[in-house]
Amino acid sequence: MIESAAEANEELMDKYLEEGELSQDDIKQGLRIRTLANEIVPCLCGSAFKNKGVQTMLDAVVDFLPAPNEVKAVTGMLDSEEEGSREADDEAPLLE
């Protein structure tokens, strides 16, 4: 996992090769960069029934997944058979 984080950019890779390790913040940064680029998919598990791993999973959502304003526009087919797109913005008009 550390090597996957280090592969996110040259700065992290150089730090990993020089020091042999990365800080927890560097690992999170690298994993987030690669997750946003759709290069890796974080996989977590837990049990809501026993409340095991739930908080860890929620923390991972905040740490690694994009906020709505960090995603590309959503595209799809409109009722008029045309392709349309909409930004993830509360102020953007709805498509009909």
The reported pTM is 0.71
Residue 96 lies in a domain: no
Residue 72 lies in a domain: yes
Residue 47 lies in a domain: yes
Query: For the chain, how many structural domains are there in total?
Result: 1
Percent of the chain past pLDDT 70, that is, above it, reads 98
Residue 75 belongs to domain spanning: 2-86
Residue 12 lies in a domain: yes
Which residues are registered as beta bridge partners of 77?
A: 83
Helix/strand/coil for 64? helix
3-class secondary structure for 75-96?
EEECCCCCEEEECCCCCCCCCC
Residue 50 lies in a domain: yes
Which one has a higher pLDDT value, 61 or 92? 61
Residue 91 lies in a domain: no
Instruction: Give the pLDDT score at 94.
Output: 73
Residue 93 lies in a domain: no
Residue 92 lies in a domain: no
**Residue-wise pLDDT tens digits, 21-41:** 999 999 999 999 999 998 999
Mean pLDDT over 56-66 rounds to: 92
Instruction: Give the pLDDT score at 60.
Output: 93
